[in-house]
A and B are shown apart, each in its own frame.
Chain A
Amino acid sequence: MKFELERLKRGTNGKVVRVMIVLQLMLALAIMLPTAAMAEGDSQCYSCHSDAVTEIRESVHHANGVDCMDCHGGVVLPNVSLITRDVMSGNFVGAPTRTETLEFCSKCHEDVGDDYEASVHRVTSEKHDAPECRDCHGGGHDILSVSDPASPTYRPNQLEMCVDCHDDHDMMEKYDVNTHVLATYEASYHWKAFKFGQLKAATCLDCHGTHAVKSEDDETSSTSDFNLGGTCGKEGCHPGVNPGARVWMGMTHYDQHEQTPDLVFDKSGLDVKERAYYLGPINLAFYIEIFFILLTCTVVIVLIIFVLLDLLTRIKMKKHF
């Protein structure tokens, strides 16, 4: 080293400068190469997309080693120039549109994608409001685990997640889906147990399925006539009920308070499941409720009148015995 410095001092000016430049470049490379190698996969993105990267870093994807490039593609091309060094460039994929999401997520989530594709929720150009992955799982970057209390898919949050759309009269009307599902669910024992913390009680997804939500008219649906018994009889729910059980003969989302006192003599227009509520022209659910209301009111009024008469008489007279 000492010999080299001696030589530099003795040499011409131009030669010293050239050697100095080479030395500086070598020094810069020596410092920068290890820094680039140690950087996280998303650190280059952070400087511009700080919000998105922060969300990703808190998501279930990041926890499982999935980062920006896994979804958005692109490659790191360092040293393109001094300014664009370390900036990603190349074949990025932007945020997918509603119809593209399935393909986008299915690259990794194959099974789930297949289930969703066959479901009634599959977004098509005619069914634009149907839920795609992000509608249920979060905005896109901040997708959380189903076991995270902040996630919309967390068990106690599931009802709200479904009701968001299914209680929206305008949206449901477009697709001819009824909106009484929430009211009838809240009238059921399932909800009463659920809201008091009995979280194993059934909520939407337990019967209708998660990704493979299908119409009850679809034979492969978990709520179809044949499969309903097996769905009720799931492990942890009502074991003992078998597929093909007669329990399908009736309406799960049914509230006697929503029924009318009309006598129906011609039941040919009624669904076979709704017909199961009728004895002759009488809707049993409705009229049994009315019967008990009348019976209870009558009995209670008569008994109260009797108690009052008894009390007044005893006040007027001295003790009986």
Chain B
Amino acid sequence: MSQEMKNPDVGKEKYFKRFTTNQVLQHLGIVITFSLVVITGMPIKYNDQWWAPILIDILGGYEMRTLIHHAAGVGMVLIGIYHVVFYLLIDRGPKALVPDADLKDLKDFWQLMKYYFGKAEFPKYARYSWKEKFDYWGALWGMVIMCLSGPILLLPQLWDYLPLSFVHIMHIIHSDESLLATLAIVIWHWWNVHYNPDLFPMSKVWVAGMISERQMKAEHPLEYEEIMRQLEEGEVEK
């Protein structure tokens, strides 16, 4: 884990490294490509809506819409392949996103629900809370589905070997999963990192890769304690 404590001169607040540049760039790439495929794809899914022709006009006409959708989709597939290859073959270190074997995530979830009704303390999360794990695996599920169904629709060369019924079903999946992914991002992810009152207008972690000590203590206390323990024992350099 690359969590050496950093102390840049940003006020008096201490900052911790949360994401590597590699991770920040991957996220940025997904932000851009995801936004593009959603904006260029939704007017097709909801082609009967009043805003569909307006949006297509803004995007520069139908051909341009298709071109952007395909280009962004290919970009998304490449980022997905890079992500999987990188974490399966090159950097096999941290397993922080894998759900805990002792069901800590389930317990945390239940404790959070009790907390909402005033029956328990706010759960103490480690490096990644169940929310973030759900976000990650949800996004991965979406990526796998979209990046498998998309190319089947894009590459007619594959139709020599695929029955039309299969292509048709991929069409249904591609369309339905796109709505699920968009709603999950807008409702859930944006609430957690954008417009909840603690972070509004947005958490800067995704740009800087740094997290403030206050946020660290509140949202990842177990990780904070672990880093502090390692610092005292001299396992990690300042």
Task: Identify the A interface with B (CB < 8 A).
Answer: 189, 192-193, 195-198, 229, 232-233, 238-242, 245-252, 254, 256, 273, 276-277, 284-285, 288-289, 292-293, 295-296, 299-300, 303-304, 306-307, 309-315, 319-321
Contacts and interface: CB of A to CB of B under 8 A. Distances in A.
A293 to B, nearest CB: 8
A167 B162 CA distance: 31
Interface in B10-52: 43-44, 47, 52
Interface of B: 43-44, 47, 52-53, 56, 61-63, 66, 113, 115-116, 122, 155-157, 159-169, 171-173, 176-177, 179-180, 183-184, 187-188, 191, 196-198, 212, 214-215, 217-219
A305 to B, nearest CB: 10
Contacts of A289: 172, 176
B173 A195 contact: no
B212 to A, nearest CB: 8
B156 A319 contact: no
Given A197-B62, A314-B196, A319-B198, A300 B187 contact: yes
A276 B162 CA distance: 11
Contacts of B61: 197
Give 3 closest A-B pairs by Cβ, nearest first. Answer: A250-B164, A249-B163, A292-B176
A240 B176 contact: no
Nearest to A276: B165
A307 B191 contact: yes
Contacts of B184: 299-300, 303
A273 to B, nearest CB: 8
- B interface: dominant SS: helix
B156 A192 contact: no
Contacts of A252: 164
A241 B116 contact: no
Most buried by A among B43, B63, B155, B217: B63
B215 A321 contact: yes
A313 B5 CA distance: 31
Given A247-B162, A292-B173, A238 B156 contact: yes
Nearest to B171: A189
Contact of B116 (A273, A277, A310): A310
B227 to A, nearest CB: 17
Contacts of B187: 300, 303-304, 307
Contact of A285 (B116, B169, B177): B169
Contacts of B116: 309-310, 312-313
B69 to A, nearest CB: 11
Contacts of A248: 163-164
A239 B167 contact: no
Given A197-B62, A292-B177, A240 B163 contact: no
Contacts of A192: 44, 47
Nearest to A200: B63
A172 B194 CA distance: 56
B219 A246 contact: no
Given A307-B191, A310-B116, A320-B198, A229 B160 contact: yes
